[in-house]
Structure 1
Amino acid sequence: MAVKHRRSGDDRTTSKPKKNSNTPISDTGIKTDVKQEERQTPPSRAVVLVCAICCGLLHSYHVSSLFENDRHFSHLSDLEREMTFRTEMGLYYSYYKTLVEADNFVVGLNRLVVDNLTEYPDTINTLRRFNLYPEVVLGGGYRMFTHITTWLGLETKVCWQVNRGHDLLPVVSCEGLGDPMYFYLAGAWFSAALTVALLFLYGTQLSENLLGGFITVLCFFFNHGEATRIQWTPPLRESFAYPWSLALGFAVTIVLRRPLTSWIYPILLGTIVMIYLLLWQFAQFTVVTTLAIVYVMYTVELIPAKAMLVILLGTTFGFLNGVVLQFGNNLLLASPLAGCILGLLLLYVFLEPLIQHLPYPTNKGTQLAFLFISSAACKIELSQVFGVDHDTHILNILRSKLSNYTDFHTLLYTCSPEFDFLPMESLMKLCETLLIPCVTFIGGAVLVNFLSLMRQNLIQRMAQENQTSGPSVWSGVDPGVVFNVLQLAVFTVMALLIMRLKLFFTPQLCVMASLLASRKYWRIIKRKEMHFALMAVIVGGMCVRGFKNMSEQRAIVGEYANPELEELIEWVRAETSQDSVFAGPMPTMANLLLSTRRPIVNHPHYENAGLRKRTKDVYSIFSRRTAKSVHETLLNMKVNFVVLQESWCQRRNRPGCGMVDLWDVEEPSNRNKAPLCPKLFHRNPAPFQRVFGNDQYVVLQVPSRYVEIPPLRAHSA
């Protein structure tokens, strides 16, 4: 076994031209000059596909090398690798580990369906509660891979011993697809490749030009830090789900441009929606925006009814299958998406025929009003029928953004930078790469083009003896572009309110940048060569800051080390029984569940109302209550040990965001009392018993009021 040392440092209805006519007719049905309208030849599908695959592979290499450079992951022990997966990442990876380590796949799957470790003493179906299909697929894939390679006698991993230094014992590190961790990460890097491949296809489709796809990919790489975080947090749901968000937008754009009534299209669209919903609990909200935008476009007669129906029926098909595969997930059953689908079906079948009898434009305004009224009413009714209030925290977060409303759970979210408003720094970075200025420029060109087409349509319509026989006011307007413009507007609002959602905003900006290569929006530039020159100048300007951003990312070199957490985990493994129950900060609980398999009572997946209450009860240890009161709370939850983290006792990344500050909002009557956490961390107050401690972590035993539990061997770093 080799010994290695760590490095130092830490339909479109194309009107056919009349025969013998010397003047060509454009796609809009309006006569144009050949010099003004240069039709673009669609790129070969084979060429587009090859380019997309190459771009995807390049991105996969990019993010995997960034991940390795940041943590020196190849030279970490299995425990250290697990420790790098903090918060929800550790929770998700623990279920993959369960499938991999089980005697067989069916046994592992049963442990996920009947799980009593994640929310002890309750037994939950994790496949119903969480979006774990990435882990199910990868866990099953790993077992098949190892079975086949073992049968073939193939070596699938290489191991070596690593001397860690700093008085730490040497560890064994393995690399290759035969290692469960590397197989899991390969799934994440495949998802990253799929993301950029779909971005290329999306940009090429929207601009109808191969150059548009390359511009989209370049913009994505140049603004990588503002567009994705898969290179730092591969197990998060967005890492696996976001490509399917792009696939949904790509498919909707195609359907809006070429409405097709074959039954296969709703099924294909529904399959995308289903996969998207299975991979991420947040997916329902972006699917809702897609449905709403499409129905608004149908209401104003920008798209035909068959295009809207294909998308609505496809979404319904995907939603129903998603509910079934998630064992009737309550959050999905009573979600805004369920309300929107039901509301739109009721509106289209029952209300729309009545509304159409109203005079124009009153009928259109009424139709749009009922879109929101019926959807909201159906969502509220579904929540009452199923008795679900899991998503109330989302409304409270939005309420807190628009008012002075605060509560414990809302502050726990909004005090995290990911849920804060989009910082000006992010907007400045997008401006420095010319992405926002470029898309603003493109938006102006698109608006001028649309207004020009509408003006020509109105003039031609007024010239007809019977005004209703002329072209539609929207004739020639590209519904695919309109959809993406409106989607960008929605994503902009989402990102401004919640910084984490910039992962939708920035890639959508990159997709819109592809229109720089679309000739139909740059008719003012007579010659194609001049258009290419303009593109070259703009892309060259992007490169100045873009390449600098890429080099700065690739210059990040570090090495993960957290000896205090490692010491805590090793102590738990050695000194506590397998059925000992733990409580504490959510990120630490995820690590304990993953690395020790001990039962926990709270975890980082905060979308469940019951779990939010559990966590609040556990976090009373950070309040100003008495030790006896907190002890009673933890005892009622059947907790044996509670973990304290020193930084959480005085955690305050900004004024009003310390854990004790959150409790001051919740319990203002206790403001004059001393906080409990520092006392527990630095002393040994009854009725708790200190059984472990180092510079960062302390473990307190929670003795039973009825049976005196003998203290474990105390340990101090």
Structure 2
Amino acid sequence: MMAAKHRRNAEDERSSKNKRNNNPQKEIGATKPPKQEGEKRPSLLVVLICSICCGVVHSIHVSTMFENDRHFSHLSNLEREMTFRTEMGLYYSYYKTLVNADSFLVGLNRLMHDNLTEYPDTINTLQRFNLYPEVILGGTYRIFDAVTSWLGMEMRVCWQVSRGAGLSPVVSCEGLGDPAYWYLAGVWVSAGLTAALLFLQGVELSGSLLGGFLTVLCFFFNHGEATRVQWTPPLRESFAFPWSIALNIGVTQAVRAPRPVWTRPLLLGTLTLAYLLCWQFAQFTVVAVVGIVYAMYTIGIIHPIPMLLVLLGTSYGFLNNVVLQFGNTLLVASPLAGCLLGVLLLYLFLEPIIQHLPFPTSMGVQLSFLFVSCAACKIELSRIFGVEDDAHIINILKAKFTNYSDFHTLLYTCSAEFDFLPQETLFKLNETLLIPCTALVGGAVLMNTLTKIKNNMIQRLEEENTETRTPLWSGVDPGVVYNGAILAVYAVMASLIMRLKLFFTPQLCVVVSLLACKKYWRVIKKKEIHLAILAILVSGMCVRGLKNITEQRSIVGEYSNPELEELIEWIQSETQEDAVFAGPMAIMANVLLSTRRPIANHPHYEHAGLRERTKKVYSVYSRRSAEMVYETLLSMKVNYVVLEETWCLRKNRPGCGMVDLWDVEEPQNRHKPSLCPRLFHRSPAPFHRVFDNGMFVVLQVPSRYVEIPPPRYHNV
């Protein structure tokens, strides 16, 4: 009687645990978070305290390296602005606009009706660029400054710095009362949040505090390959990456949850919104998140409910982002928009038909339709809205695998950040044992997964009732599958574009946390032996990892660029406030930031119109005649064009000189001499040479109707 009761209870438990829908491809496994055998999950309070400590340490670490590299505390305001080159200067200029405006609303209105960035056009910079970090920092600085002024608190200390080398002394200020320091404080808080969230992700994935500490240790040991926030603070990734990690944590919890939590779409939507608002590239990794979760549902690893919660959450964040960015064209016709629409159409209309096919066939058809529907929706959205802003991305990928090249593509691929992942990076990651440890974890997870699938298949064959069959994926952790899949996507991204290793390396660190997850190392019977092996592995990581940290912290320098400083001071003193400038994208960002002069082109290259505008300006580096280039610049209403010696006379690598780019674009002119050296040294008519300090030359573009009186000529 007791045996019969025990058997009946076991059957009831198995029946309730293994319920599934009628389609065998939707069978799923256990979705509870992993637990260390014989151990409790760590206390939430302890986890939060440890994560905050990791965040504080990382924030101090990166801020110290930044100060060591540039001696930022002893630079003048102009020198500080000069350190923010390329896109950094562009973004910081909008923060400066908000801080210096008569009121926050006046500054916000200037950002929404900006006629300096792409003169003579007026653009909404909140629509075109991802400027909400600057909006938040600018608004909070104004509040902080108003409160401290009202309380009579002085929040900055100033002193005079003698620079030597014939340079005049400057005044430097330090403290949160200085706008530059408030901005950097926001960046360092974001960097601290990155380390704190990496710790939380390691704990969430492995189920142990030790896994979180392994993740953070690996992050610090491979810091140079994981982030560049300490060298380029204002870049979008500095603000966006913490939200990427938070989104991955939220999705990991969603696919593991044993029952649906209906507030989860709101959480995922908020994280997606924050991520998308901070960086124009965020949409591509969110596409990977949605695609992976839907693929997991297709092959039966998760229920439809978690997939729908993730889909609803990302859709909510996406739609709110479109509203807050005033219908940003790069977003409304983006791959993310196509993916969300394609997955929704596939789930609602095609899946009921596909489900009638046999399991392996239906899975293959569904995954194929996933790719086709997403691509078709993206292409159709681009056609409907007439958007070509992201066309250069396809051309970059095409150039990497074929002989295709054009001016814009070469401008990207000639930059080291957009090249293939160098072998040196893999060598460095191997030296710290990061890749070997990840491979070890991958092998253990694969063996564990295959073993569970094999056991489930055997059990299914022994079961007679098909309605309560053991799911094929029973016991497989969906959170681990998701993190492994996103790591594979990041690896492909990083291998194609070196800059994207900032996703790949931290995710490697997260996966290493599974070394602390006991269920994947059952061959190690005793906890003490497991800990001893981990200690040996960490010791091996320390050999190179501590050396990497020491080398980074030993970088000591002091920023100085007297030629650029001289150019900016000349522009401020010798040109009219409405004089329009054009030139190298990086220099134009500094001209806009420090002089507030209108510019014709800038470094934010993710807009089709801006790419063509920059191409026209860069005709000064072609083999065209001076008269042709003059007509082009005149049609753009440019008053002055800036030439840089490195762009005119040097080649960084074969085929990547500016004239080489034009030889690809205009092969019929290959026999003609390059124009830029002649402009740099002699400045033929109709241009007027008005500034020259050896590094920079400024040419005036006189109007054919009204001769602009040239400013005082400056030559060093």
Q: Establish whether TM, by shorter chain, passes 0.5.
A: yes
Q: Secondary structure at the match of 2:159?
A: strand
Residues 187-336 of structure 1 aligned to structure 2 (within 5 Å): 187-336=186-335
Residue 576 (structure 1) aligns with? 575
Aligned match of 1:10: none
What's the CA shift for 1:470?
A: 2.3
Q: Name the structure 2 match of 1:4.
A: none
- How many Å separate the matches in 1 of 2:583 and 2:306? 51
**Shift of the alpha carbon at 1:459?**
1.1
Counterpart residue number, 1:401: 400
- Say which is worse superposed, 675-684 or 467-476, in terms of deviation: 467-476
Write the letter of the residue equivalent to 1:526. Answer: K
Are residue 175 (structure 1) and residue 185 (structure 2) matched?
no
- One-letter amino acid of the counterpart of residue 500, structure 1: R
Aligned to 1:640: 639
Tell me the distance in 1 between the aligned counterparts of 2:564 and 2:476: 59
Give the 5 Å matches for 1:487-636.
Answer: 487-636=486-635
Alpha-carbon shift at residue 262 of structure 1 (Å): 3.5
Percent of residue pairs bearing the same amino acid type: 69
Q: CA deviation at 1:488?
A: 0.5
Residue 41 of structure 1: how far off its partner (Å): 1.1
State the distance in 1 between where 2:566 and 2:444 align: 60
Aligned to 2:714, the other structure's residue is in SS state coil
Instruction: Report the equivalent of 1:338.
Output: 337
Q: How far apart are 1:38 and its partner, in Å?
A: 2.5
CA 384–600 in structure 1, closer or farther in 2 if over 3 Å, else same: same
Amino acid at match of 2:585: M
CA distance in 2, matches of 1:375, 1:650: 46
Distance 1:79 1:153 in 2: 27
TM-fit CA distance, 1:388: 0.4
Structure 2 CA distance for aligned equivalents of residues 710 and 158 of structure 1: 43
The 2-side partners of 1:259 and 1:589 are apart by: 54
Contact 1:28 1:475 in 2 (8 A): no
Counterpart Cα distance in 2 of 1:482 and 1:360: 20
Instruction: Give CA deviations for 1:614-656 in whole Å, capped at 9, x if unaligned.
Output: 0000000001111111000000000000000000012422110
* Aligned pairs for 1:88-107 within 5 A: 88-107=87-106
Deviating 4+ runs (over 4 angstroms): 17-21, 27-31
Rounded to whole Å, the distance in 2 between the matches of 1:565 and 1:697 is 8
Partners of 1:261 and 1:209 in 2: CA distance: 24
Q: Which residue of 2 aligns with 1:66?
A: 65
Q: Secondary structure at the match of 2:53?
A: helix
**Per-residue CA shift, 1:420-448, capped at 9, x if unaligned?**
00000011000000000000011000000
Q: Report if aligned partners of 2:221, 2:432 keep a CA contact under 8 Å in 1.
A: yes
Correspondences of 1:122-161 after superposition (within 5 Å): 122-161=121-160
Q: In the aligned structure 2, how far is the partner of 1:362 from the partner of 1:560?
A: 62
In structure 1, the residue matched to 2:21 is: none
Task: Note closer, same or farther for the CA distance 1:471–1:19 as it changes in structure 2 (3 Å cut).
Answer: closer
1:461 and 1:468 in contact (8 A); partners too:
no
Query: 2:262 corresponds to which letter in structure 1?
Result: W
Could you say what secondary structure the match of 1:361 adopts?
Answer: helix
Whether the aligned pair in 2 keeps the contact of 1:333 and 1:382 (CA below 8 Å) is: yes
For residue 681 of structure 1, report the CA deviation from its aligned partner.
0.6
In structure 2, the CA distance between the partners of 1:148 and 1:672, relative to structure 1 (3 Å rule), is same
1:5 — aligned with what?
none
Amino acid at match of 1:110: N
Counterpart of 2:664 in structure 1: which amino acid? V
Q: Is the 8 A contact 2:157 2:174 kept in 1?
A: yes
**Residue in 1 that maps onto 2:80:** 81
Shift of 1:463: 1.2
Quick check: 1:669 aligned with 2:672? no
Q: Distance in 2 between matches of 1:131 and 1:461?
A: 52
Asked whether the equivalents of residues 461 and 469 of structure 1 are also in contact (C-alpha less than 8 Å), the reply is no
Distance in 2 of aligned mates of 1:592 and 1:260: 56
Q: Which amino acid aligns with 1:420?
A: D
Q: Distance in 1 between matches of 2:369 and 2:428?
A: 40
Judge conservation of contact 2:36–2:208 (CA < 8 Å) in 1. Answer: no
Q: Secondary structure at the match of 1:226?
A: helix
Q: Structure 1 residues 495-504 or 259-268, which shifts more?
A: 259-268
Q: What is the CA distance between 1:358 and its match in structure 2? A: 1.8
Measured in 1, the distance between the counterparts of 2:518 and 2:79 equals: 53
Question: Structure 1's 418 and 20: CA in aligned 2 closer, same or farther, altered over 3 A?
Answer: same
Q: Give how far 1:705 is off.
A: 1.2
Matching residue of 2:425: 426
Q: Confirm or deny: 8 A CA contact 1:646 1:696 kept in the other structure.
A: yes
Letter in 2 for 1:358: L
Post-superposition offset of 1:40: 3.2
How far does the alpha carbon of each residue in 1:291-345 deviate from its partner, in whole angstroms, 9 at most, with x for none?
0000000000100000000000001000000000001111100000000001111
What's 1:682 paired with?
681
List alignment gaps of at least 5 residues for structure 2: 1-5, 19-28
1:117 aligns with 2:116: yes
* 2:434 aligned partner: 435
* 1:37 Cα deviation after fit: 8.4
| SS of corresponding position for 1:699 | strand
Q: Which amino acid aligns with 2:459?
A: Q
Counterpart Cα distance in 1 of 2:348 and 2:56? 46
Q: Is the 8 A contact 1:338 1:379 kept in 2?
A: yes
Give yes or no for contact 1:37–1:523 (8 Å, CA) kept in 2.
Answer: no
CA drift at 1:19: 10
Whether the aligned pair in 1 keeps the contact of 2:36 and 2:517 (CA below 8 Å) is no
Deviation of 1:707 after TM superposition, in Å, equals 1.7
Using the TM superposition, name which of 689-698 and 645-654 deviates more.
Answer: 645-654
* Secondary structure in 1 matching 2:388: coil
d(CA) in 1 for partners of 2:523 and 2:469? Answer: 27
- Which stretch of the first structure deviates more once superposed, 702-711 or 209-218? 702-711
Q: In structure 1, what is the Cα distance between the partners aligned to 2:45 and 2:71?
A: 38
Contact 1:298 1:308 in 2 (8 A): yes
2:267·2:313 contact (CA, 8 Å) conserved in 1?
A: yes
One-letter amino acid matched to 2:597: R
- Letter of the structure 2 residue corresponding to residue 86 of structure 1: R
- Cα distance per residue 1:453-500 (max 9 Å; x no partner): 111111111111245532111000000000000100000000000000
Determine if contact 2:36/2:207 at 8 Å carries over to the other structure. no
For 1:443 and 1:686, locate their aligned partners in 2 and report how far apart those are by CA, in whole Å.
Answer: 66
Which runs of 5 or more residues in structure 1 are unaligned? 1-16
User: 672-681 vs 650-659, which deviates more?
Assistant: 650-659
C-alpha displacement of 1:551: 0.1
Q: Say which SS state the counterpart of residue 158 (structure 2) adopts.
A: strand
**Amino acid of the residue matched to residue 156 of structure 2?**
K
Amino acid at match of 1:418: E
Letter in 2 for 1:247: A
Helix, strand or coil at the partner of 1:421: coil
Distance 2:7 2:122 in 1: 72
Q: 1:259 to 1:682 in 2, by over 3 A?
A: farther
Tell me, in whole angstroms, the C-alpha distance in 1 between the residues paired with 2:297 and 2:239. Answer: 31
**Secondary structure, aligned partner of 1:607:** coil
Q: Secondary structure at the match of 2:715?
A: coil
Amino acid at match of 2:589: A
Letter in 2 for 1:347: L
C-alpha contact (below 8 Å) 2:686/2:701 kept by paired residues? yes
Q: With CA pairs under 8 Å and 6+ residues apart, which has the higher RCO, 1 or 2?
A: 2
Q: Is the 8 A contact 2:226 2:503 kept in 1?
A: yes
Structure 1 counterpart of 2:563, one-letter code? E
1-structure distance, mates of 2:653, 2:137: 39
Deviation for aligned residue 1:357: 1.6
Q: 1:62 to 1:37 in 2, by over 3 A?
A: closer
Whether contact under 8 Å (1:259, 1:307) holds in the other structure is no
Query: Where do 1:475-486 residues align within 5 Å?
Result: 475-486=474-485
Quick one: distance in 2 between partners of 1:18 and 1:40?
Answer: 29
Seen in structure 2, the aligned counterparts of structure 1 residues 347 and 174 have a Cα distance that, compared at 3 Å, is same
- What's the TM-score, normalizing by structure 2? 0.95
RMSD across aligned positions (CA): 1.7
